[in-house]
Structure 1
């Protein structure tokens, strides 16, 4: 009898496996239209690799299957949402976490504090956000000084000199983020260069080497990545201990140290902020200056606002909310460049979008890069037009996507402040000019980055 029972169970398992294999349509995520897994182990991973990036894959997926579509990441079903209407419908009670940070922590393998329940998650999020907000207020003069040094350098260049935006603005973001996150010990070039070495090694693999599986297939690359990650973690732990011993309360890590977070949690939050803060700030500033260089009209309109609000004064923290057109320029930069093209959430309870049921524990992708250039939501979606954000409907859609309002990613809020200081200081003194014949291509990973160096020239305002 026992032998028969074992045989029966084994037979049922084999039968189920055969059904799944022979009838792949039954393997779609809860009947949501989409791709069947191309490979038993990797799902649609090779399809993503063939498209060049997850964003390009999602563009194709939604073109073929509509605004709610499914695919397989390994053996796991994934649902992707590709329109404002579907994102508005999405039911997910997990509003306590930021989707970008959740994805980044998952790629880094950080799990501490993730299983502490909703109350613990909310508490940790509040500590993290207040740390960033306090840092911006307390250290605004440092940010302004770093920006003024860069603008002063550009002002000294002859009018015809080509300026490499990517290189200069990554340097600006790293100087700003490290000093405001970790303290004055990163005021020198030596410390920033050391930080950048490990930062670049880690970020180059995040969202790419893990996504296409190439990192696991290259022992040398994986070893380089793990060494850089270990060195960065060790440095962050060391800085936290030093700051705690000094009892200072001025920068990001100091606020974390005043909380009840563990040493490990403090290190993880510092890692997320410095990694994401640098790359988001650098690329927001790069794209903003690139788009400004393409439109003298937008530059002149921004200059007039600066004259009206600031006059001949420098920008100050309390004046930033009054620079509404500058905010529109940055909003349109994020939209046109598709700055963060992908975000993700785990469906914690069963949800529903249109007629489709999304089961509990399904990974839900927000195809933000698709939504940000959806012609049903944005008129002339490929045109850089800050004036579109004068319309309330555009502002509401942007807020729904998490790019403004209370749900804004904290690192993006930080980047907006740095970018506002940069645009205010620069446009008051200089005009940007685009190089003729330069074609901008995007490398779409977790953050949209110019594929090649981006160049501009500047001239002094008369």
Structure 2
């Protein structure tokens, strides 16, 4: 099986390092409480490694020093915000680029989108979002078809058969992202398998070995990674050439081709969308079905909403906003699983949080995984309770964290649409059951994924 979420702690650390490299930080002391560097050269790097992940390190950091805390990456200070209040106060005008996109591009060796004026960045961001939205509108039937094929397959299984969520839902994500991103070329399973092979190789090495140089030391690993990246880029350029000649306007890449972006910029945006889109979509679907399998009550309530809103009709794009409880289920999935536990923003101008001054060009980390399970913001924070999002305060906090509203990353919006189609199709036909004794542990990295394969069984809703 493709281990699509191999994000070792070094990956997340390198993301931080990449941003710090791109935007040199001020060396002025912030005066914010936190850890002193344990090593003159590496700062608190070893402390992060000892905790096992950046998220676990931030949990410990905020427990000791409060909601605004600092630590050191190399010789540079980093500020972390670990509750809703300081996040609300934080002034950061850098909304022109997405932190995930910026850091991912830097690791891939891309520089486009990191230079140019603010207006250019805003226009490119809007174009990227528009390309995703247009593709969903034009190809919603493709999403329905891929989901119905998967649900039909599950319906054919004996009730006792164990279904591996990670394997099946990664396949779902790969099919929807490639077809809506790059076109009908990927209706061919052989093309998807080839894409999957390179996707695996890139994600399993990106960021890995950068701290200790192990990737450079292993000629076989370096050659494998370089070959996969080269093959992926060649495939994207081939798609660009074909779609440009056909002058179609149906999928993500077509919208970009109608713009003034260069071929290099289009290739980079396609790389980011297909790589990140697969990871985020797969994990949202995995966690949503896992949590649904743990609660028959939530499944029944969701089933009733689906019957009331959709009747016997399949879900449609215009009906999705009416599925409010389904939205609550997905919101609670993101919150409980800490789907993206860390985000980062550059302090482009001097800012202030409480009494603390944050110097210009300081990297500010949003410890989202900490905030998403803060008992001061969420009652019973470790329980899966979609009903909490009936409260306006919960919805506001979620929006503030960037998981809903205008600041939601476009890949997550895409994932919500695919997950809604999956859940609405599946729950009306089947009941999901958790395997007895199975515990799905979260591996909190850049995108949270189960530490091991997660299994469920299903039974017919209408026996």
Change (3 A) 1:48 1:219: farther
Q: Structure 1: 5+ residue runs without aligned partners?
A: 1-26
More helix by share: 1
> Matches of 1:28 and 1:440 in 2, distance apart?
43
> Matches of 1:82 and 1:212 in 2, distance apart?
29
Which deviates more from structure 2 when the two are superposed, residues 87-96 or residues 159-168?
87-96
1:371 equivalent in structure 2: 371
Which deviates more from structure 2 when the two are superposed, residues 58-67 or residues 448-457?
58-67
Aligned 8 A contact 1:29 1:70 in 2 = no
2:52 equivalent in structure 1: 52
> Matches of 2:219 and 2:365 in 1, distance apart?
30
> Matches of 1:385 and 1:211 in 2, distance apart?
39
2:349 equivalent in structure 1: 349
Shift, 1:100, TM fit: 2.3
Q: Structure 2: 5+ residue runs without aligned partners?
A: 1-26
> Structure 1 length as normaliser, TM-score?
0.92
1:315 equivalent in structure 2: 315
Aligned 8 A contact 1:102 1:345 in 2 = no
> Matches of 1:266 and 1:58 in 2, distance apart?
35
1:171 equivalent in structure 2: 171
Shift, 1:110, TM fit: 2.1
Instruction: Find the residue that maps to 1:78 and give its secondary structure.
Output: strand
Matches within 5 A, 1:27-426: 29-206=29-206, 208-210=208-210, 214-215=214-215, 218-426=218-426
Which deviates more from structure 2 when the two are superposed, residues 129-138 or residues 358-367?
358-367
Spell out, residue by residue over 1:140-195, the C-alpha distance to the aligned partner (whole angstroms, 9 max, x if none).
00010000000000000011100000000000000000000000001111111111
Is the radius of gyration larger for structure 1 or structure 2? 1
Shift, 1:219, TM fit: 4.6
> Matches of 1:54 and 1:138 in 2, distance apart?
39
Shift, 1:242, TM fit: 1.3
Shift, 1:235, TM fit: 1.4
Aligned 8 A contact 1:97 1:121 in 2 = yes
> Structure 2 length as normaliser, TM-score?
0.91
Shift, 1:259, TM fit: 0.6
> Matches of 1:122 and 1:304 in 2, distance apart?
41
Change (3 A) 1:313 1:87: same
Shift, 1:245, TM fit: 1.1
Shift, 1:351, TM fit: 0.8
Change (3 A) 1:319 1:211: farther
Aligned 8 A contact 1:146 1:175 in 2 = yes
> Matches of 1:219 and 1:378 in 2, distance apart?
48
Shift, 1:222, TM fit: 3.5
> Matches of 1:209 and 1:98 in 2, distance apart?
25
Aligned 8 A contact 1:29 1:71 in 2 = no
Spell out, residue by residue over 1:8-52, the C-alpha distance to the aligned partner (whole angstroms, 9 max, x if none).
xxxxxxxxxxxxxxxxxxx88412111222223222222211111
Instruction: Find the residue that maps to 2:406 and give its secondary structure.
Output: helix
